[in-house]
Structure 1
Amino acid sequence: MQILLANAKIMYDKSGLKPWTEPQFQSVANRLAMDMAGMDIDTLERELDCSRKLAAENWERYQHFFTAEKMPAIMAYNGQAYKHLVASTLGEEALVFAQRHLWITCFLYGLLRPMDGVVPYRMEHCVHLPSADGKPVNQFWRDKLTDVLIDSVKADDGVLLHLSTEEYEHLFDWKRVCGEVNVVHPLFYVRQKNGMLKMQAVWAKSCRGAMVRHVLLHHITSPADLHSFSYEGFEYAPCLGEERWPHFVRDNRETLL
């Protein structure tokens, strides 16, 4: 079973663990980064649709892209999913398993194995760059990544555990992916006081990270074994959803993340 997890916009500046491998598309990322380094702060603010402070921070990052200290991708991100993945506490056995089974999606490096070396950056799906043939970067990556993902899943057992987000599906010909491999897409819901189910973004991100951790620690390779996952009140609900969309439900409580 191969796993997809999205990257995060918030990144650490360094990690205590050294990377093991180089990203498969490092040369492509280098070209995109050079284009970004050639932009001024005003252009970065517009292209990244961010504050001027963040634009200035990322201008500085891209100026030092080729000399910055590299860190393992799984240790580099600090978004909600990664706070609950807690990669820094994973042992070597879990990291070795992750290196064989986990893909991290992102708009600069395309696809990353967790121990691939990356540097701090920010990239958005809609950025247009000369090295991306003038296309938005998500469309630019599609022809490069689709076969890589499909081939890796087929070389495993034909199952893709989709814990990334809809935004990153655009990196691939997603219709082809769903047609050629078995995509299992867990959904996480909070049951409201009126009994209705509601998906809450913060909880969904938290559960995606926690489920990746669960898979890595227990070396899970079968979708059926995902049913053992439970986290912060979320439990598998066998009477809901379908085989490819397993539902995990939490009763509404006042527990804070």
Structure 2
Amino acid sequence: MMIYISCAKTMTARSRQQVPFTTIPHFEKEARENAMNMAQFSAKDLSSLLRINNKLAAENVLRYHEFFSPESHSLPALLAYTGIVFKRLNPKDFTDEDWKYAQDHLFITSFLYGLLRPLDLIKSYRLEGDVRMPEHGDATMFEYWRSLLTDYFITEIKKQGGVLVNLASAEMKGLFHWEKITQAVRVITPEFMVYKNGKPTTVVVYAKMCRGEMTRFILKNCIEDVEALKTFEWEGFTFNETLSQKDHMVFTLQ
């Protein structure tokens, strides 16, 4: 079973946590080229491209300019991202065995790096999927990555049994030829909902928290059986058989 989750916009460059080993991203060469391209943009350009304020734009100009410096800090991907999903995943108490299992069973999407394993060393950056670079023939990052990631992703999923648990945001499908993915492997998509006015509704913050908690649940328990996913419970969220379909598992707040 393979899991994939979305990258986060917020990142850190420092952590005291020890990990058993580190690795180089599979698409390191492409990431370095992407960073070099992004370094050409001014703070004003980045503010517009990334839809961020001037302070964040200036910070990311600096990040890209320092990207190739040996003094620039790198962190394992699972420690570098600090969004809600990663906070709930909470790898602070991971054992060496947890890290090794996660390395084989978890992918993190990245508009800069493509796909990342938890122990892949990365640098802080900011990038969006709709950014177009002249060096890519004006293609968006979604378009740029599709041909590079799809077959690699399928191969890696098949190595782990041919089942993908999709805990990423919907937009991340755009990084792949998604129809080809669904034809080649089984995709399980959990959804987390709360009742509002008697109707099941997705609340983004709860959905992100649950994605992180389910990822942690799978990794800490080495879940390989699809049926075992239904036993996931967190803060009142439980499997709702009535709303679920075969590969679309709905969890509701009771």
Same fold (TM over 0.5): yes
Question: Which residue, 135, 141, 145 being the options, matches 1:137?
Answer: 141
| Runs of 4 or more above 4 Å deviation | none
Q: TM-score, normalised by structure 2?
A: 0.95
Give the C-alpha shift of residue 149 in structure 1: 0.7
Question: What is the correspondence of 1:7-156 to structure 2 with a 5 Å cutoff?
Answer: 7-16=7-16, 17=18, 20-67=22-69, 68-156=72-160
Give the C-alpha shift of residue 239 in structure 1: 2.4
* Residue correspondences, number: 250
Q: CA RMSD in A?
A: 1.2
Give the C-alpha shift of residue 80 in structure 1: 1.0
CA deviation profile, 1:94-143 (whole Å, cap 9, x unmatched): 11100001000010000000100001100001111133232111110000
CA deviation profile, 1:165-218 (whole Å, cap 9, x unmatched): 1111100001111111100000101123x4211110000000000000000100
Q: TM-score, normalised by structure 1?
A: 0.94
Residues 13, 74 of structure 2: 8 Å contact kept: no
* Structure-2 separation of matches of 1:145 and 1:103: 12
Say whether residues 1:159 and 2:163 are aligned partners. yes
Amino acid at match of 1:154: K
* Structure-2 separation of matches of 1:87 and 1:58: 26
* Structure-2 separation of matches of 1:4 and 1:243: 19
* Percent identity over paired residues: 37
Question: Which residue, 212, 218, 223 being the options, matches 1:220?
Answer: 223
Consecutive unaligned residues of structure 2, counting only runs of 5 or more, are: none
Amino acid at match of 1:55: A
Amino acid at match of 2:3: I
Give the C-alpha shift of residue 42 in structure 1: 0.9
Residues 190, 199 of structure 1: 8 Å contact kept: yes
